[in-house]
Amino acid sequence: MPLRKFGLFSSVVLLSILFTESCVIGNSMNLFPPTAKSEFEEKLIAGKDQEKIVIIAIEGMISDEGKESFFGPASDSMVVRVKESLKRAERDPDVKGVILKINSPGGTVTASDIIYQEIKKFKERKGIPVFAGFMDIAASGAYYIAMATDSIGAHPTTVTGSVGVIMSGINVKEGLDKIGIKDQSFTSGPNKAIGSPTTEMTSEQRKILQSIIDSLYSRFFEVVKKGRPKVSEGRLKEICDGRIFTAEQAQKEGMIDFIGYFDNFVIELMKHPKYEGNPQGSPRIVTYQRGKVPVENIYQATDTKGNPISLGIADKILGTGTSAKFLYLWDI
């Protein structure tokens, strides 16, 4: 195939992938997401007492990047929304507990760590119980975040675990060589373009990247060790190898505390020693969202950003964002 036609064909295929992900999957880009200028409102879900339990949704890819909008500015990033929700809950004397409604495969290392630290600081200042409630998936960076909570509940069909670090990448040098395309990048040093898909990686470069992966994994492991003190360090080393667990398996290993549905998450939180509301009462279950979005039940307490639950095809081909990222992520 002539090079010009190949280039045109490749462009059409890539654009088709991007368009299909945007239109069919529906979470690659939102045309009109609520923006940071929308009012941050408290939404009542249930309950009638003065005391409140706040639901904070952590859904989709964990990132500090705002959701792109086809028209207008980007919406808040997950990091910003969680921080703002915690600030509002901290200011409200009626808030007696927080439940993180988690449905995420993880995300970037730094965003996961920021949210983890914000939750720990919130607990120190506010002194109220913070629980994690796992939904479909609570893996890798999402599990990292849950280590900051007082207790972890999981839906019976939850998949969790995946303690580890990944840096995705592909190498297309051999394929490009076959069609006569050569890399002509100029760099200031031999490792400036480390991980480039158009050049072969040297053994030294592999060692450099692996050392970073190992360092970030060590941090993850220490966070899990602190968050799951009842599990022996020896056992943690065996099971924190990237594997995933069902809710039942995770409970057996001590990676979560109980299995149930969202009503059970609320009941368990109200039993916690730090809960200062009426343990037999009917606290108001509330969430915070931007925009005029009705919330009539707990499953509508969602992350309005609509982050994808996994990396799309284009992300796997082109990479996440404009540069390589180290991820606490479960993705297949």
Q: Is residue 188 part of a domain?
A: no
Q: What is the rounded average pLDDT of the residues 13-42?
A: 51
Whether residue 62 is found in the same domain as residue 4: no
Whether residue 105 is found in the same domain as residue 23: no
Whether residue 23 is found in the same domain as residue 52: no
Reported as a pLDDT band with limits 50, 70 and 90, residue 14 is: very low
d(CA 139, CA 332): 12
Whether residue 140 is found in the same domain as residue 153: yes
Whether residue 290 is found in the same domain as residue 307: yes
Q: Is residue 62 part of a domain?
A: yes
Q: Is residue 187 part of a domain?
A: no
Whether residue 140 is found in the same domain as residue 281: yes
Which run of H or of E encompasses 256?
Answer: none
Candidates 63, 112, 140, 196; catalytic one:
140
Whether residue 24 is found in the same domain as residue 63: no
Q: Is residue 216 part of a domain?
A: yes
Whether 310 is catalytic is no
Q: Which residue has the higher pLDDT, 56 or 19?
A: 56
Q: What is the rounded average pLDDT of the residues 204-232?
A: 97
Q: What is the rounded average pLDDT of the residues 294-314?
A: 55
Residue 198 sits in a domain whose CATH number is 3.90.226.10
Whether 192 is catalytic is yes
Q: How many domains does the chain have?
A: 2
Q: What is the rounded average pLDDT of the residues 14-18?
A: 43
Q: What is the rounded average pLDDT of the residues 167-171?
A: 86
Whether residue 201 is found in the same domain as residue 321: yes
Whether residue 17 is found in the same domain as residue 149: no
Quick one: DSSP state of residue 57?
E
Q: What is the rounded average pLDDT of the residues 17-26?
A: 43
Owning domain of residue 9: 1-30
d(CA 312, CA 18): 9
Whether residue 159 is found in the same domain as residue 39: yes
**Predicted pLDDT at 37:** 57
d(CA 9, CA 15): 10
Query: Strand, helix or coil at 58?
Result: strand
Candidates 192, 226, 237, 252; catalytic one:
192
d(CA 126, CA 95): 9
pLDDT digits (tens, 9 = 90+) for 312-322: 444 544 444 44
Whether residue 197 is found in the same domain as residue 319: yes
**Helices 109-126 & 78-91 angle (0-180, nearest 10):** 0
Whether residue 5 is found in the same domain as residue 136: no
Residues 6+ apart with CB under 8 A from 65: 74, 77, 321
